[in-house]
Chain A
């Protein structure tokens, strides 16, 4: 494709200023494994999209390509109209606009909870210390772990750690939040406290891409469910429709398996 036509495509897409995350024709391989195959996905501002699919289907990889923790082999990804730049300062700046919550929390183990939430504000956003602390405390209160501020991550329960991780991401004022199975490393009794925080976020209008098998969350908070299998997006539908009446056999098969448990 020539450079001219690429520019033109971008201009054509420009009227849809409501599109926040756009993946077009994205392909990625891990060696011989074709993990992402011709992925086209557009997420509008304020939209909550749940990504669901069997293990190994490429959900995590998809999530990680959006803030370029994984590079792609071909295709284009843009966030708020800007294509993802190469590794470097500019990419770092763009990543700050994309919050990411990991399955295993990944809180900075050598920093207190408060420091975890302040660090990005100070080092990346160059906020002054006092403002950063104030904001961090507000966010920690909002996710319900305000009293734990001075503890180290290892002293918190999984559910608390994950809520701190959400606060840490929110402290950067991200345009979009990515969640990669945020509750699947948690004991059952802690899942809800995290889901509630996410639900509140969705109600507040945050744009979210959530990899999860929590159907309750998908039904109550998602605008759209994206079903992935073998590196492809097999089906996209509204949650109600997807769960009660999936079109593809892959989705039917998958749902029958997870509904049994």
Chain B
């Protein structure tokens, strides 16, 4: 019979699972990535060191290892009783934040230094300079790489499935365990991911066009 129609509730749950973990960890990655990028260009040395350490650590650790740490080490010593969804989102969000940080930082570097100097010379603090003058001008260059980063995040969310999260890729395993033909299963999974990633790139393209109109 039709693998999708017969197992639609499970597929739907998987799809929603992937969408939710993608959305939540994207938000974490975005906020954290921008903040850490701010740290990396800050005049305060300890913040800069923290930023560099964060990026080095998160970007160079294999994601699966990060998941293992979050699922087996973090609950043991830090916060017991967090749901797999929260743990998975945190692991994925932290990991991706290092990529977001570097994209934002390279965007910051495209804004002429004179802009920040002018802001500081009228008495803006470092945070104001970044928020009001530099980041808005960096946004345009940051959007295309961010789009790729969030698409990669969507696909990376499959790893969360191996850690007792209901998500799209996990549905595939469920179906093949049930003995369904693997080819249509994979096609449906691929379509599920494509819907999400196309939505993301569409949203970003829209944003990009908006910014062009705005100036």
Chain A partners chain B? yes
The answer to whether A89 touches B125 (Cβ under 8 A) is yes
Is B136 an interface residue, CB under 8 A from the partner? yes
Pick out which of these stretches binds chain A: B49-57, B111-119, B161-169, B187-195. Answer: B111-119
Which A residue's beta carbon lies closest to that of B136? A110
**Is A109 close to B, CB under 8 A?**
yes
With A110-B137, A110-B215, A123-B128 known as contacts, the answer to whether A96 contacts B118 (CB < 8 A) is no
Chain B residues in 8 Å Cβ range of A165: 118
B121 close to chain A: CB less than 8 A: yes
Instruction: Find out whether the CB atom of B123 lies under 8 angstroms from the CB atom of A120.
Output: yes
Binds B, one of A20-28, A100-108, A219-227: A100-108
| Residues of A contacting B124 in the complex (Cβ-Cβ under 8 angstroms) | 92, 120, 123-124
Residues of chain B lying within 8 A (CB to CB) of residue A169: 121-122
CB atoms of B43 and A87 under 8 A apart: yes
Contacts of A123 in B (CB 8 A): 124, 128, 132
Q: Tell me which residues from 83 to 129 in chain B have a Cβ below 8 Å from any Cβ of chain A.
A: 112, 114-115, 117-126, 128
| Interface bracket on B | 20 to 34
B133 at the interface (CB under 8 A from A): yes
| Selected contact of B122 from candidates A87, A110, A119, CB within 8 Å | A119
Cross-chain contact A102 with B125 (CB below 8 angstroms): no
- Tell me if B122 and A96 are in contact (CB < 8 A): yes
* Chain A residue at minimum C-beta to C-beta distance from B125: A92
Q: Does A172 contact B (CB under 8 A)?
A: yes
Contact of A120 among B117, B122, B136 (CB under 8 A): B122
CB-nearest residue of chain A relative to B43? A87
Q: How far is the CA of A98 from the CA of B123 in the complex (A)?
A: 9
Q: How far is the CB of B6 from chain A (nearest CB, A)?
A: 54
Answer yes or no: A93 CB below 8 A from chain B CBs. Answer: yes
Give CA–CA (A87, B120) in the complex, Å. Answer: 11
- What separation, in Å, do the CA atoms of A108 and B131 have in the docked complex? 13
- Across the two chains, which residue of chain A brings its CB closest to B112? A106
Q: A66-104, CB under 8 A of B: which get 1 and which 0?
A: 010100000000000000000111001111111110101
B120 and A102: CB pair below 8 A?
A: no
Contact B121 A109 (CB under 8 A): no
- The contact of A107 among B118, B121, B123, B125, by CB within 8 Å, is B118
User: Contact: A109 with B123, CB < 8 Å?
Assistant: no
Note all chain B residues with C-beta closer than 8 A to A97: 123
Partner of A106, one of B117, B125, B132, B215: B117
A13 → chain B closest CB, angstroms: 25
**Complex Cα gap A89–B132 (Å):** 16
**Are A108 and B118 touching (Cβ within 8 A)?**
yes
| CB-based contact A102/B123 at 8 Å | no
Interface string of A23-67 (1 = CB under 8 A from B): 000000000000000000000000000000000000000000001
Cβ contacts under 8 Å, A87 to chain B: 43, 126
Is B120 a contact partner of A108 (Cβ separation < 8 A)?
Answer: no
Minimum CB distance partner of A124 in chain B: B123
A96 and B137 alpha carbons, distance in the complex (Å): 23
Q: A110-B136, A110-B137 are in contact. Are A92 and B114 (CB under 8 A)?
A: no
The reply to whether A69 and B117 contact each other, CB–CB distance below 8 Å, is yes
- Name which residue of chain B comes closest to A96, CB basis: B123
User: Across the interface, which residues of B come within 8 angstroms of A108, CB to CB?
Assistant: 115, 118-119, 133
Closest 7 CB pairs of A and B: A96-B123, A120-B122, A106-B114, A106-B118, A100-B121, A124-B123, A95-B123
* Residues in chain A within 8 A of chain B (CB atoms): 67, 69, 87-89, 92-100, 102, 104, 106-110, 119-120, 123-125, 152, 165, 168-169, 172
